Chains A and B, each alone.
Chain A
C-alpha cells in the first residue's frame, strides 16, 4: 500500500501485516494482511466488531503480543522511518515507552493496585528521564492536574481502587501522556464508562491531542465515538482492513458493503421504531475464514468471483480505499437491501 496523498508524512505505517496464533484448536490467523497508516497529528479510528483483529493490530505495533503463541508471519510496521518488525522487541519497547503510548479499556488492570498512582507515574520520569525523585513526583502531580483530577497533589497519594472508573481512566491517560508521546493508541478507552463520563473522557483526549499535536489511533466498536473525534477511519473485518478513508467520506458514501451494513444497523435517532437493516449472519470464526472475500457469505452484492478471489485494498477515490470488487457500485448506492 502506498501512503495516501493527503498524509505526506506518515508517522506509523502498517503494511500487509499477518499475525497467527497457536490456540488449543489449532493455528489460526488473527490478522490477514492489515494495512493502514497514521500521519503525524492525525486521529485514525480503527472500527470493527469483536474478533475483527483491531486489538491484535495495535498490540503487534506495541510489541505486546504474547511471545509464545503469536507469530508475525509477514508484513512491516514502520514508525517514523524505522522498521519496528526488524528491530529487537527491546527497541520497540523503548519506543513504546517514550514515543508511543497506549490507553487500555480496563483502567483497573492497567494500573498496579498496590502502588500509589503518583508513584506509578513518577516512576516513568525516574526510569526514562533519570529525574530526581522529587522532580518526578512534581511532574506526576502536574500530569494528574492536566487530565482534570481535582486535588491532584493529594490524590497522587491514593491507590487505584480509591478512584472512580472515570477518574481512574484519567490516571491511565496521565500515565500514557507523561512522556509526551507522538502517538497515542487508545483501545476502547471509554467502553467501560457511562455515557456522561465517556463524553468527558473523549473531550479530554481531544483537548490533549490538540494541545500536544499528537497522533492518535482510537480503537472502538462504537460508530458514534468515531464520528466525534476521528479524521480518518479504517474499518476492520475478519482480520483485514476492508475500507479506510476520511471520516465523512466513509460514513456518507461507504465503499464496502460491510461498512454500509454497519451504518444501516445503527438505530437512527430521527427515525425511531423503523425496522433496522442488520447484516445477516455473523462474523466468521478465525479458524474458518471463508475463501475469497471474507465478507462474501454475508454480502448482499456478492457474485461468483467474490467466492474465489480475495479483493485487495485499492484506491476508489482520493484518500479512500476499499477491499471490494464492486466498490464502485456500493459507493454509487446501488440498492442492494433485500437482495440477500
Chain B
C-alpha cells in the first residue's frame, strides 16, 4: 500500500436532474448539488452531515462516477476525474471506492460472497492474478473480521452487520486510497454499528485511507471525523475542523442540527441550548431566494432573501451566513432558544 498523500478535490461541483414540469411544459432543472467544494485527504476523515434531500448521496454518486456532474470539477491526485475517458475512468475507479448504505440491496442476492468480493477483479483484469483470488479473498474477509468460510455464503445467509463488512471488503478489494461511505452504519443496530465504526477506524489507520463519511447521525459523524461539512439544500453551509464546528457551531442550521440530536444521557452533559426549527427542508426544485436556509432561520433578515451568502472564514472554520458572527455569539433575539 503506498503511503504518499493523495487528495480528492471537488471544485464548484454542480449536479442537476431534469425536473418534470406539467404536461407540455418545458423541463426545468433541479440542482441537487450546487457549487460545492470539498477536499478529502488520505489518512483523514471528512464527515458530511445533512438531512434527507440535501444532496449528499447525489454528491457521493458524482464522486465515484455514477452520476455525471453538470458543472464544476473533480480532481484526484492532480488529475481531473470528471471528464476522464473510459480507460482512465476505469483506472481511477480503483482508487476511489464506495461503501453503500443498505447492506441488503447493495449486494447481488444471487451471487456468493466470494463472487461479490472478486467482482472488481473480473472487471479490472490484471489487478489481482486469477490464481491468487482465493487467498486474497480470505485475506480481505479476515481484514474485515469475517470468517473465511463465509465466502461460500449468499447475502441472505448473513446478518446486516456481516453484509456491511462484505460491502467494505468489496471496496477494499480494489486497494483504494479513498472510500466514500454513504450512511454506512445507519441501517445497523447500535451494537453492530459500534463494531463497524471500530473496523472503519482500524482500516483508516492501517491502510492510510481517506474517508468521505456521509451520515445524518451527528454523534456518529462527530465520532469518526477530523473535519466536518454541513450540507443544506445542495450547498455546504459550514465546514472546518470537527472539534471547532461541533464545539461552537456558527451557522444557525448547524446549531439547530446539533441541538436537535438526541443525546443518550442529557443529564450528564451541561444544559444545552435547544433550537427547534419550524417547518421542513424546502424542495430542492424551488430553493428559496438568497440564503437557502432563511425560511427556517430565526436570525433571517431582509438581506438574507436578496443575497446568497458564500462560504467565508469565521473563527477557524468557513461559514455561509451573513450573520455568522452574531450566530456564533449565541444568536439574536429571533432565535427561539429554550434551555432543556
Contacts and interface: CB of A to CB of B under 8 A. Distances in A.
Contacts of A223: 190, 262, 264
B224 A273 contact: yes
> Do most interface residues of chain A lie in helix, strand or loop, or is the interface mixed?
helix
Contact of B189 (A167, A196, A221, A227): A221
Contact of B201 (A200, A224, A275, A282): A275
B256 to A, nearest CB: 6
Interface residues of B, number: 47
A174 B263 CA distance: 27
Nearest to B272: A269
Given A194-B216, A196-B256, A278-B198, A265 B191 contact: yes
Interface string A224-268: 110110000000000000000000100110000000011111110
A50 interface: yes
B52 A203 contact: no
B307 interface: no
A265 B194 contact: yes
B242 A196 contact: no
A291 interface: no
A164 interface: yes
B260 A227 contact: no
B198 A196 contact: no
A278 B218 CA distance: 19
Contacts, number: 122
A267 B191 CA distance: 11
A56 to B, nearest CB: 16
B7 to A, nearest CB: 22
B281 interface: yes
Interface in B204-235: 216-220, 222-225
Interface string A288-313: 00000000000000000000000000
Interface of B: 51-52, 159-162, 189-195, 197-198, 201, 216-220, 222-225, 242-243, 246, 256-257, 259-269, 274, 276-278, 280-281
Interface of A: 49-50, 164-167, 194-200, 202-203, 221-225, 227-228, 248, 251-252, 261-267, 269-270, 272-273, 275-280, 282-283
18 contacts: A50-B189, A199-B274, A199-B277, A200-B277, A202-B262, A224-B263, A227-B263, A252-B268, A266-B190, A266-B264, A267-B197, A269-B246, A269-B263, A272-B242, A276-B223, A277-B194, A278-B192, A278-B194
Given A221-B189, A278-B192, 14 more contacts: A50-B189, A199-B260, A199-B276, A224-B262, A224-B263, A262-B190, A265-B194, A266-B219, A269-B219, A272-B243, A276-B194, A276-B198, A278-B195, A282-B162
